[in-house]
Structure 1
Amino acid sequence: MIADEDMKPISPGAPVSCPSAEHVSTGIPIPKPIRVTTFSPAEWESFTQEWASSLKDLYVRVARHTGSGDQGVDVAGFISDRGWEGGWDNYQCKHYDHPLRPSDIWVEVGKIIYYSYKGEYSPPRKYYFIASRDIGTKLGKLIEAPDRLKEEARNNWESSCKNGIIETSSIPLKDDLLRWFEEFDFSIFSTKSVVELIDGHSKTPFHSVRFGGGLPPRPEVLIPPEEHEVVESRYIQQIFNAYGDSLRKAVNSVSELSSSLNSDFLRQRERFYHAESLRNFARDTVPDGTFESLQDEIFHGVIDICDSSHGDGLARMKATVTQAATIATASNPLRSVVKVQDQQGICHQLANEDRLFWVPTSEEA
């Protein structure tokens, strides 16, 4: 029996650091490498696909095998337009409840040897094992010693590969396949750590949504060039239509504008460039469709104003842009970086796509 004097009152020690308001609200953040280990197999697969998009800077093309019978290839990075024959790297993804062991990889080693022997593809330049709980010590030492890795792969072929590569066929290691095995370069096998995966993932648009932590700072917005870009042609024509409707005469160039309208025109272009800057920022920091969702939110927030009766096209444009500035975009992942000018500029993006009209024609009304 435990003596009373061996029992001590529970008295938690002082926190290592002063807790912040965020800690009180959400708890102490879970480090990303630990969070990754809690992913379900489906989440790990999604994370892997997201991470693979960070490899596009290294390869001409990156592809993930999605069909049945992966032939030992999960993610392939091709270094030239020649595909499999032009040099490629393989990334084999594993989600287990333990660090990767030698017994976890023998069938994968067997697949890459067998299918390259069969001519399904050339042997990869590099072959990386990436696991949700990293690589165990024993496997790590084997990978660092290619000759030992080859010897262990040979010893385990009968138990792991012979009937494991193809469920319906037995593949003994003999004759030409054995000669291919002996000549195979086992130094291609390597690993990618979870820390490396997270670092690569941080360079994708998916990182902030999956791990939180907020968006990075936005770059400075470009000043609109004096010469109008081709991409601006439609919304600028719509602005000229609005000015012309107010002046009761056609307006076809900036030189025809008064000083006050010229100042207004510059403001509208600056707003458009703000929105374009946000579009580019979103492309690099949040998943596809996030910015388009924001555009739809602005559209639905202003369309009733835009479709209402106004004295002229300029009044309609100003009323619509003013309404856009008041819309709360609380549900969009970009909300922390969205400025009033962005929301106003989105109106001009919508006009550029003929979703909003400042001077509707009989067909557009």
Structure 2
Amino acid sequence: MAKYITAQQVSIGKQIEPIKMIQLMSPNEWEELVEEWVGLKYDDYKVERLAGAGDMGIDVSAYLTNPKENPTNYKWECYQCKRYAQPLSPSSMWIEFGKVIYYSFIKKYPIPKKYYLVGTNGIGTTLSMYLKNPPKLKNELKIQWDKKCKSEITKSKQIPLKGDLLVFFEKFDFSIFDKISPKIIAKEHEIHRNHLLKFGGSLPSRKIIEEIPLVEEDKHLRYVNQLIKAYDSDSKDLVEKVENIIDSKYERHFNTARKSFYNAEELRSLTRDNLPEKVYQNFKDDIYEGIINTSEDSFENSFKKVKAVENESTKIVLHSNPLKDACRPIDQKGVCHQLVNDAKITWVEDE
């Protein structure tokens, strides 16, 4: 399939690697990125990010079953996000292991199916070895409990590892603890619509629209009916349906208008998949603001109005919209017809 290369792709140059940008993120930015990435994995389930003090060892959670249906025994995964200058070490994580054991023991939440450590600088060798050996991890946490967990899990009281908590600890499945590399998160996040916003770069190459759908598929659309009425306002002969356009002086414009509409639709789809939700709507709003005065002027007939508005749209300079280097004049003309479809502008007032 032919691709259209934009000025943005040529001029943008070499980008900072995402993994380097992750290392510069704030704790909040890192948690937000992990939340978005988890949302890609479990788009059918609820993903939640907890913030601030009292999070009970949970930064991001993915609910595999609905907690409301079974509040004491739902299935979920926990993602513990750490923004440290160095790879995560056991000394920094004993408290987090202690929290999930204690809070699941007192039934603040069920034991998660998986508990993932996700650090901006990854996991250090020693901690990685512990995660690969659950019995060793368990034994070492037991040794470290008094020093790292007993007085740190909650400031309101000490949590000694004894009695029923010790029984719970001994039965606890330490294989739930695992790690995920920030490189994996950065790579898999590429398909998220906020990826370019967070890491920069250019939109993917655009498709060249060589064929457009058969006109039969468009007959019901408002922009087509409005074009028919615009042609009729200029024609000496009756133009009331698409068939009247064929082999007329309006056929070339009709085909060009439809092509511009589908180019704008392709840009809309590309934007939807690669940028935040409102970017394309803001682009349409910019075009609307640039053409609305012309569309409200008086013209000899509505066909002249259509052409004047289309021409005006191509003069609009998009100073700050992220699409400014990706869109072309044909897209800006196409937005005119999208706006007609949306009933934001009208070529011929409906009777």
Deviation at 1:219?
3.7
Amino acid at match of 2:276: P
Deviation at 1:63?
2.5
Deviation at 1:53?
3.9
Residue deviations 1:160-211, cap 9 Å, x none? 3333333324333233322222111111111111211211222222222332
- Residue matched to 1:54: 40
- Residue matched to 1:324: 313
CA distance in 2, matches of 1:237, 1:120: 60
- Residue matched to 2:17: 31
CA distance in 2, matches of 1:240, 1:209: 41
Give 1:347's match in structure 2, choosing from 336, 339, 344: 336
* 1:292 and 2:278 matched: no
Deviation at 1:67?
6.7
Residue deviations 1:215-256, cap 9 Å, x none? 2212454622443359x6232333233233334898553124
Deviation at 1:263?
3.8
CA distance in 1, matches of 2:207, 2:67: 37
Worse-superposed segment, 287-296 or 32-41: 32-41
* 1:335 and 2:321 matched: no
* 1:356 and 2:345 matched: yes
* 1:106 and 2:91 matched: no
Amino acid at match of 2:55: D
Deviation at 1:330?
4.5
CA distance in 2, matches of 1:326, 1:273: 20
CA distance in 2, matches of 1:192, 1:346: 43
CA distance in 2, matches of 1:112, 1:86: 15
CA distance in 1, matches of 2:239, 2:149: 76
Q: 1:243 to 1:26 in 2, by over 3 A?
A: closer
Residue deviations 1:252-299, cap 9 Å, x none? 531243523344333222222211111111111112211112111111
- Residue matched to 2:147: 159
CA contact (8 A) 1:61 1:78 kept: yes
Worse-superposed segment, 61-70 or 71-80: 61-70
- Residue matched to 1:272: 261
* 1:188 and 2:173 matched: no
> Which segments of 5 or more consecutive residues in structure 1 lack a partner in the other structure?
1-24
CA distance in 2, matches of 1:40, 1:67: 14
CA distance in 1, matches of 2:62, 2:19: 24
Report the secondary structure of 1:163's partner residue: coil
The structure showing larger relative contact order (alpha-carbon pairs under 8 Å, at least 6 residues apart) is 2
**Percentage identity across aligned positions?**
36
Report the secondary structure of 1:338's partner residue: coil
Amino acid at match of 2:267: L
- Residue matched to 1:20: none
* 1:93 and 2:81 matched: yes
Give 1:69's match in structure 2, choosing from 38, 42, 54: 54
* 1:313 and 2:302 matched: yes
Report the secondary structure of 2:283's partner residue: helix
Amino acid at match of 2:163: D
Residue deviations 1:88-129, cap 9 Å, x none? 222111011221111221222122222222333322222111
* 1:43 and 2:32 matched: no
Amino acid at match of 1:264: H
Q: 1:326 to 1:136 in 2, by over 3 A?
A: same
CA contact (8 A) 1:244 1:251 kept: yes
CA distance in 1, matches of 2:64, 2:257: 44
Worse-superposed segment, 334-343 or 247-256: 247-256
> Which segments of 5 or more consecutive residues in structure 2 lack a partner in the other structure?
1-10
Q: 1:284 to 1:355 in 2, by over 3 A?
A: same
CA distance in 2, matches of 1:166, 1:248: 85
- Residue matched to 2:290: 301
Aligned residue runs from structure 1 range 78-89, under 5 A: 78-80=63-65, 85=73, 87-89=75-77
CA distance in 2, matches of 1:220, 1:105: 52
CA distance in 1, matches of 2:151, 2:214: 66
CA contact (8 A) 2:35 2:47 kept: no
CA distance in 1, matches of 2:269, 2:12: 31
Worse-superposed segment, 46-55 or 92-101: 46-55
Amino acid at match of 1:290: V
Deviation at 1:35?
3.0
Report the secondary structure of 2:265's partner residue: helix
Worse-superposed segment, 292-301 or 250-259: 250-259
Residue deviations 1:321-342, cap 9 Å, x none? 1221232334322233212221
Q: Report the aligned-residue RMSD.
A: 3.0
Amino acid at match of 2:270: F
CA contact (8 A) 2:35 2:48 kept: no
CA contact (8 A) 2:218 2:224 kept: no
